[in-house]
Structure 1
Amino acid sequence: MQQPRHYAYWPREAPKSLTYPATSVWYNLEVSARRYPDKPAFICYDNAITFKALEAEALKLAGFLQKKCGVAKGDRVLLFAQNSFEFVIAYYAILRADAVVVPINPMNLTEELRGYVKDSGAKVAIVAQELWPAAGPLAADGTLQHAIVAAYANHLVNPTDLKVPDAFKLPRQPIAGPNVTLWSDAIAQDLAPGPTTAGPNDLAVMPYTSGTTGKPKGCMHTHATVMSTIVMPFEWFKISSEVIYLGVLPYFHVTGMQNSMNTPILNGCTVVLLPRWDREVAGVLIQRHKVSAWTLIPTMVVDLLASPNAASWDLSTVQRMSGGGAAMPEAVATKLKELCGLSFVEGYGLSETMAPTHINPPDRPKKQCLGIPVFDTTSMVVDPATLEELPQGEVGEIVSAGPQIFLGYWDNPEATKECFFERDGKKFFRTGDLGRMDEEGYFFLVDRLKRMINASGMKVWPAEVESLLYGHPAIQEACVIAAKDTHRGETVKAVVVLKPASRGSVTPEEITEWARGKMAAYKVPRIIEFVESLPKTATGKIQWRVLQEKEQLSS
């Protein structure tokens, strides 16, 4: 049998295939807490939590979830918080309770949150207190049966000279209500959970993604699919327990969750958390804690290197910068090489694949490239209409099969059926991304089959924004497209037809301001263009592609 062409460029000393642990994700923390009890697992604004303390608090929270909130095996539990000690503790507590983590972007507002709660069937949520204004109404009206409210400041008791966001300085608030419990009170009850029974084939995490319909869909991941991409980076990059990570990507998203939380916990590494991106603080943290690995999005490198203080920071300890979400601009990659002697290692994955299906070989990366298929992963470029494999160099849809592929979309068999097909005994996932493969087996992204805007690595689904815009009393029709943005890569633009009575009296600024109260900030259209009408097909469907192509030609 002919070897895949990319094997010629496989990372040195890495095996071609892995044997994956048949244990739960929780077990990773349990093991590291025994191996490295007093080692800092996470450092946040000069405060540390050890592996032993992390496990101890997660066990108490798991006991409370089971014995006071009625959480049973397989129940979905919402996790609504920024990167913090609390996020990590809550994540592992939910797993220890044999339940399923449903991580939610902390930028979401009440009605967006309501959609996730209803779709997932979650009855319990763990919420950071600064996000309570968004979650509180769901507890008040009974949509949520129980909420645990956390204050970051509980763990941040040591002084720091770093700039700390307001949410992390906010003392514990006296939030109360029916079936509302403060985190500190839940931990104080010191309840032990029952025996853990979750195995590799049980659901573990359900991140949400979206698609052409605009309705978010829950991606069902088991302990086995999650574990596969926890262990992959360990072998790909040959990570030792002495690696120190900078954790800046959001943990609600699979890239941050796996690369900057779960993989370090498996390996007993220390993570220096930076919950809110701040280039000046990032520079200081890298130097202060001798950070050696950093998973990020390219805009962070752009921002860091643009700082007037960049030359004064000692970044020499950083041995690896990797990530994805957007292509690294070649000029920035060149500057990074000059200043730090590093090549940015890009990768590619989706919520449905629990992070990577492709990563560049660390000793032979290509610029603006997705990389090569990782361990036990088969990828092809196929014709989107016929699903037949295309020759090398031709553009088609990227499809992948491997141990990291999700089971399907929660309670959505139709969408699940549409995204899979079988070939040669393997179940391939249709990514919806258009790409090509070069002569050496490296994959490159060309375009997106699905509608999606990539704003600084944050995915914005136009149909979802459109559905919210239609709630504005002056809007008759709306079509959301991507506009080029020098900093964000892409930004959100809405092409709007106003109702006749509102024409001339409603401004773009008014619509933008209204949108800020209805959707997460990264989804808000930065550009509003008023038009008399939108292009439509003979059946009346809005031709978003026509508007998108027009935008690309004008920019």
Structure 2
Amino acid sequence: MNKQGKVTGKASIDRPWMKYYPESLQQLQIPHCSLTDYLRQNNADTSIPVIHYYGRELTWNDLFRQADAAAKALCALGFKEGDRIPTFLQAVPEHVVLLLAAEKIGAALICRDGTLEESVVAIQNSKSPVLFAHTYLSKAEEDRFRAETQLERIVTLSPYASADRSKMPEHITAYIDSLQPAEPACAPENLTWDQFLALGEGYTGPWEAPADPDRPLFCAYTSGSTGPSKQVIHSAASMLGVIHQMTPFTASLDFRLTWLHTILPPSLVAVTVTMILSPISSGNLLILDPFCDVQDLDLELMRYRPNCWALIPEFIEVLMRSPRIPADYSMDYLYAAGVGAEPLNIKQIERAEAFLKAHHCPAHFSVSYGMSEGGSGFTLPCPTQPLTDCCGGMPMIATTLAAFAKGTQQELGYGEVGELCKTGPGLMLGYDDPESTAQALQRHPDGQLWLHTGDYGYMAENGTVHVLSRGFPERFGGGRLFVMEMENRIAFTPGMDDGFFVIAPDPEHEGYFLPYLYLILEQGADQAEVEQAIRSALEPHQQPVEVTLIKERSYFHFKTNRRELAAEIAARVPVTV
């Protein structure tokens, strides 16, 4: 409600989600400080373990000590305030060390986990002569980097650097072995991680930059699952804008939680902000497990028995299809189980809920919504409301979400579909492209800076957000092609095990799109009967132009692989306009 307690019909004014939050938190203030200071303030006992990494535990003292040493070593290598430091690391403790070290000297990390071509561009954009990468970087990749960028040297980090190898299970070491190239990067100028840290021991020059929470600190790339990947720039202040809104809830229990983080790379904003920094900010023990093959996630879940695990759709699918999880296996230790990354249709949600219930998981299955440009986390679960019509939870306590008419700054009412926009803490500083930044970050008549997400959906009067589509694809002749709307219509079609739509450009009508259905049948189902039932459930403009049978849902960057499938369609369907 607004301050006068009146309902205006506009979510940005009424903020109806506030009724779900306790009054003691409704005036939550976001601290304006460095990331290092925030972590110290939230964790008074720096002697306790904060990260568990393959048999070894690191305390806050370990992290802060290594961060100082790494900061001095960065200065010894020539890095200074305002510089960009490219890193191609997985979610290892050294990622946190380098992030804190970069803040100390006033620099920023550029994190990347993409194709070779994307990696080349990231190094070029950093203008840095030094790269941080794992020891399994190949000589061929190194040669390409040296030939096409300004790179002079690589600091190589072994996956075993902070681990106790004797305590690592065979499937983890086997996965690491599978990453090793026949010929690794080997230029004589390269340094090991230990050699890098040793540089700091002899450094006597200045190394601490003036504190500035608004300075760029973390540059990452969007996942690229729905279009070209873009570099997103965040500061300590923008990251803390999200972290501080999550901390009161993850730190509210009377015992210490364990948080499991597996194979998602820290080059995703959601990983660094909400899956790494948020748990450790809350005083919980973070279990880093980045070298686990996706098909072995079931083994790691049963080995660690975590209280919390940030699942995504591909992860929960692996668990549900695992033959290694006994039917009577109890997940009573798992207190938080939810998904983000992409919306789920109603059948996917129902199957996940049934799976967790069958395994005695006490957690309420939840979904959330966010994106890199807004610091990753926009919403929190709203347990009192059902997960219907693509519900993405409720806005976080200091966050405002609203729907606006397409291409405008005109806010819509409850239930009206428009572009979802966010204002409040956590907004990126911008992209590395000013024109794209101006399109995404817009000053509205209310004086607030709003992030235009490009996602379409609506705000419900109960305070929840419903995310229906990425973009506003329309079919020639009329009718919007919102993937989740269409998938929910056909989700429980008899004989269909799973299915999803891919929206691709209409080759005959520029600016319009066509739907393609990828279908997985239940064993013994008749394809013609299933297709007929599907078409009966869809509106005329939603009818797929093509139905392709597949054996299983494919993923790209852990999301349904709509991007590559759309590219395949475009490549084989000739454009006639």
Give the alignment's TM-score, normalised by structure 1.
0.76
Please tell me whether residue 360 in structure 1 is matched to residue 399 in structure 2: no
Counterpart residue identity of residue 233, structure 1: M
2:281 corresponds to which of 266, 286, 290: 266
- The reply on whether 1:147 has 2:154 as its aligned counterpart is yes
CA deviation after TM superposition for structure 1 residue 252, in Å: 1.5
Q: Which runs of 5+ in 1 are unaligned?
A: 455-459, 464-478, 488-515, 537-555
Q: Distance in 2 between matches of 1:532 and 1:483?
A: 12
Shift of 1:152: 1.1
Q: Secondary structure at the match of 2:172?
A: coil
Letter in 2 for 1:333: A
The residue that corresponds to 1:275 in the other structure is 290
Shift of 1:315: 1.6
Find the counterpart in structure 1 of residue 132 from structure 2: 126
Residues 301 and 332 in structure 1, CA contact (< 8 A), matched pair in contact too: no
1:330 corresponds, among 349, 358, 361, to: 349
Distance, in Å, in 2 between the alignment partners of 1:481 and 1:131 is 41
Q: How does 1:504-543 map to 2 (within 5 A)?
A: 528=568, 531=572, 533-536=574-577
SS in 2 for 1:187: helix
Where do 1:297-316 residues align within 5 Å?
A: 297-310=312-325, 311=327, 313-316=329-332
Q: 1:334 to 1:453 in 2, by over 3 A?
A: closer
1:351 aligns with 2:372: yes
Tell me the SS of whatever aligns to 1:220: strand
Residue type at the aligned position of 2:575: L
CA–CA separation in structure 2 for the residues paired with 1:326 and 1:208: 17
Alignment of 1:55-454 (within 5 A): 55-67=64-76, 69-105=77-113, 107-109=114-116, 111-132=117-138, 133-139=140-146, 142-159=149-166, 160-166=168-174, 168=176, 175-177=185-187, 179-191=189-201, 194-209=207-222, 216-239=229-252, 242-248=256-262, 249-278=264-293, 281-310=296-325, 311=327, 313-328=329-344, 329-335=348-354, 336-339=356-359, 340-362=361-383, 364=385, 366-367=387-388, 368-410=390-432, 412-421=433-442, 422-449=444-471
> Identical aligned pairs, as a percentage?
24
Q: After superposition, what is the alpha-carbon deviation per residue over 1:243-294, rounded to whole angstroms, capped at 9, x for unaligned?
A: 1101123321122212221112222321112214556754444444441111
Cα distance in 1 for residues equivalent to 2:91 and 2:483: 24
Q: Counterpart of 2:115 in structure 1: which amino acid? A: N
**Cα shift readout 1:323-358 (whole Å, capped 9, x = no counterpart):** 311224222233123431322221111111111122
Q: 1:322 to 1:423 in 2, by over 3 A?
A: farther
CA-atom RMSD in angstroms: 3.6
Moved more, 69-78 or 232-241: 232-241
8 A Cα contact 1:29 1:266, kept in partner: yes
Do the aligned residues in 1 keep the contact of 2:399 with 2:422 (CA within 8 Å)? yes
Deviations 1:159-211 (A, max 9, x none): 23352154635899984426422212112334367234232111111112388
Offset at residue 424 of structure 1 (A): 0.8
Structure 1, 383-392 or 307-316: larger mean CA deviation? 307-316
* Structure 1 residue 440: Cα displacement: 0.9
Using the alignment, how far apart are the partners of 1:117 and 1:524 within structure 2? 25
- Contact map agreement 2:86 2:111 (CA 8 A) in 1: yes
Alpha-carbon separation, structure 2, partners of 1:164 and 1:217: 31
How far, CA to CA, are the matches of 2:176 and 2:226 in structure 1? Answer: 36
Against the structure 1 CA distance between its residues 300 and 482, is the aligned structure 2 distance closer, same or farther, given a 3 Å change threshold?
Answer: farther
Unpaired runs of at least 5, structure 2: 6-13, 474-481, 485-501, 506-511, 521-555
**C-alpha distance in 1 between matches for 2:163 and 2:194:** 14
Alignment pair present for 1:17 and 2:27: yes
Task: Report if aligned partners of 1:58, 1:89 keep a CA contact under 8 Å in 2.
Answer: yes
Q: Is the 8 A contact 2:89 2:134 kept in 1?
A: yes
How far apart in 2 are the matches of 1:414 and 1:66? 33
- How far apart, CA to CA, are the structure 1 residues paired with 2:562 and 2:192? 29
Q: 1:532 to 1:34 in 2, by over 3 A?
A: closer
Residue 351 to residue 213, structure 1, CA distance change in 2 (3 Å)? closer
- My pick for the range that moved more, 260-269 or 305-314, is 305-314
Q: 1:321 to 1:196 in 2, by over 3 A?
A: farther
What is the identity, as a one-letter code, of the residue corresponding to 1:53?
D
Distance verdict in 2 for CA 1:204–1:190, change over 3 Å:
closer
Shift in Å, 1:90:
2.6
Cα deviation, 1:276-322, whole Å, max 9, x if unaligned, reads 45567544444444411111212212221322233354421111113
> Structure 1 residue 429: deviation in Å?
1.1
Residues 462 and 16 of structure 1: CA distance in aligned 2, closer, same or farther (over 3 Å): farther
Aligned to 1:154, the other structure's residue is in SS state: coil
